[in-house]
Chains A and B, each alone.
Chain A
Amino acid sequence: MSSSNKKTQRQRKKTSFISPRRILIIAQSTVTQLVRMKVFYFLAPIAAVFVGIQFFDAPWYAGPEASQPQQELQMHKNLCLGTMMLFSSLFAIVSTALLIPRDIEDRTLYTILCKPVPRLDYLVGKLLGVMAVVFIALAVMDMILVVTLHFRTGAVLADLEPYLQKLGWPQELVDEKLDEISAHGPTMTLQYGVLAYFFKASVIAAVALLISTFSTSTLFTIASSVMIWIIGAAQNIARQGLFEQGGLAEDSGPIAKILATLVSLLFPDFQIFDSVAEAATRAADISSEQILQLGGFTFFYLAIYTVLSWFVFSDKEF
């Protein structure tokens, strides 16, 4: 006994400031917790909606005669991506807001923090856990989206080809048109759109994390995170209003500018994510650099919010 005791004592080295392994353990336990809270059950009705859209024709869809048959596919993508955005953002807020205040209320945190776990590790672990669950949920929805969109594209193409041939289009032109429509099907660009929403949900989760480190109730965390989410979405409009609409902007130039910069530091500009996702539904070109940039932007916000959370959290008493 004493020899093994000595051995373990020798093994106990300095606790590192941040340890990927420990973060992973906490992230893993967060995923387990969320899974056992049965959050994935929410995916069932969403899947049903996605499949249901399949059988729903846009009111303006006029069959193969339509001048722009891709509208049909765009509507499908719009509805699905919109649902995914709403779900992933709300999910990120609610699950982050539920986890940390609950750990504090239940005093589970006592037992975790009295093990050699730096508080930063705990926060990062929780955030990564929520992000992992959001990722899984989005991936499942994405899969359903890709499958349903694949069939729908097939149906539109199958309608269109004989119609164009009947109109006497030469085969090359028909193929060209079909290719053009296919670009609105399940493509890489569409995946970029989904990724943009994952980034957005992650940033929102980090905001909720920060709020939950100083708020004392779950409800307050959820309400204020939702508020920031809405302000973040609206601030682009507000900023445009401040700067680009003549008179007002010129008069109060510097003050307004400082104000806007402050606001944009506090409230992340979610428009950046939305515009990429919107481009994806239009099947516009999205370069991989653009996505990398978006990733960098996401990382920047995650880092800022995590460090701020850590500042608040490291002074917290239980």
Chain B
Amino acid sequence: MSDIPAVEVSGLVKDFQTSFRGPKLRAVDNVSLRIEPGEVYGMIGPNGSGKSTTMKALLGLVKPTAGTCSIFGKDSLKVDSRNDVGFLPENPYFYKHLTGAETIKFYGKLCGMRGAKLKHRIDEMLNLVGLDDARNRALKGYSKGMLQRIGLAQALVQDPRLVILDEPTAGVDPSGSREIRDLILELKNRGITVFLCSHLLEQVQEVCDRVGIINHGKMVRQGKLDDLIALEDRTEIVLENASPELLDQIHTLVDVTYGVDMISEGNPRTTLEDLFLRETKPRRTVTKKRRKRTNS
């Protein structure tokens, strides 16, 4: 439609002053990414790799040390950019004294909604996240998953064109997280851009068009999901009801063929998970420590 990207992050660097005079901690190191309108983009990475920090910079909650972020062409540091975006922070906390319906009403009003339209929207949102029954209960009595759901409803209240979800399924039960996955797919069908990060790689693989893998603040791999996880020099054969004899035959066949190696065997794993582990594996600090301990 137009060539304005939904999200554009270019050369983002973010340093945190962790102690009063100590060295700065580089949480995000020269990350660039671009999300086209209508796309679902997944960011994955180990704990503390800078996913949430990137999202916060995109929402203007932290100021970049270097680089720029924009949403639909509007600079993230300007309030204007927040008109078209809904954000679900990790561990969302809201005013505990408000009920579910009041919470959505509050955020709807902040977005400039009012009257019958807002009222209708509140019902719609509560229904969408399955909190109809709890609408008149105060949030202090909500469970973790329920808070996550109300956070999702709050993010979607003004029908934004971009939704940023920081671990939308954290603390949500399996069926709930499946519902959230379906919801993301529905948003995608409606042409809404989604930027999410999650540790549930299967889900990321199911819903995302493109993924980026971030490690120690650096973007290590980025691209179309299908391209990333396709391993052209490898073939996976998935068999059902294969007899031991057949497997033996395959083994011998592989053994006698020059240049072919059997790399792994077993139940198939999610390939994104494989990729993730491969890209983020070298945790040298951990292994070094362990080695030291065994030496002494």
Residues of A within 8 A of B (CB): 1-2, 5, 8-9, 12, 14-15, 21-22, 25-26, 29, 32-33, 36-37, 106-108, 110-118, 315, 317-318
Contacts and interface: CB of A to CB of B under 8 A. Distances in A.
B62 A15 contact: no
Contacts of B97: 32-33, 36-37
Q: Is the interface of B mostly helix, strand, loop or mixed?
A: loop
Contacts of A5: 159, 190-191
Interface residues of B, number: 34
A266 to B, nearest CB: 25
A1 B98 CA distance: 30
Contacts of A113: 59-61
19 contacts: A2-B191, A5-B191, A12-B83, A15-B83, A22-B110, A29-B95, A29-B106, A33-B95, A106-B93, A113-B60, A114-B61, A115-B82, A115-B107, A115-B110, A116-B80, A116-B112, A117-B82, A315-B63, A318-B56
Given A29-B95, A32-B97, A115-B158, 12 more contacts: A1-B190, A5-B191, A8-B159, A15-B79, A15-B83, A33-B97, A37-B97, A107-B91, A108-B93, A115-B82, A115-B107, A317-B61
B109 interface: yes
Given A12-B83, A14-B80, A116-B79, A111 B91 contact: no
A12 B84 contact: yes
Contact of A111 (B80, B151, B159): B151
Contacts of A1: 190
B92 interface: yes
B111 interface: yes
Contacts of A112: 107, 110
> In this complex, which of A15, A26, A115 has the most chain B Cβ atoms within 10 angstroms of its Cβ?
A115
B154 A111 contact: yes
B59 A111 contact: no
B89 interface: yes
Contacts, number: 86
Contacts of B83: 12, 15, 116
Given A12-B83, A318-B62, A116 B95 contact: no
A158 B154 CA distance: 63
A318 B61 contact: yes
A22 B112 CA distance: 8
Nearest to B85: A114
Given A25-B110, A116-B111, A317-B61, A111 B82 contact: no
A72 B116 CA distance: 57
B62 A317 contact: yes
Nearest to A318: B61
B110 A117 contact: yes
B94 interface: yes
Interface string B103-128: 00011011110000000000000000
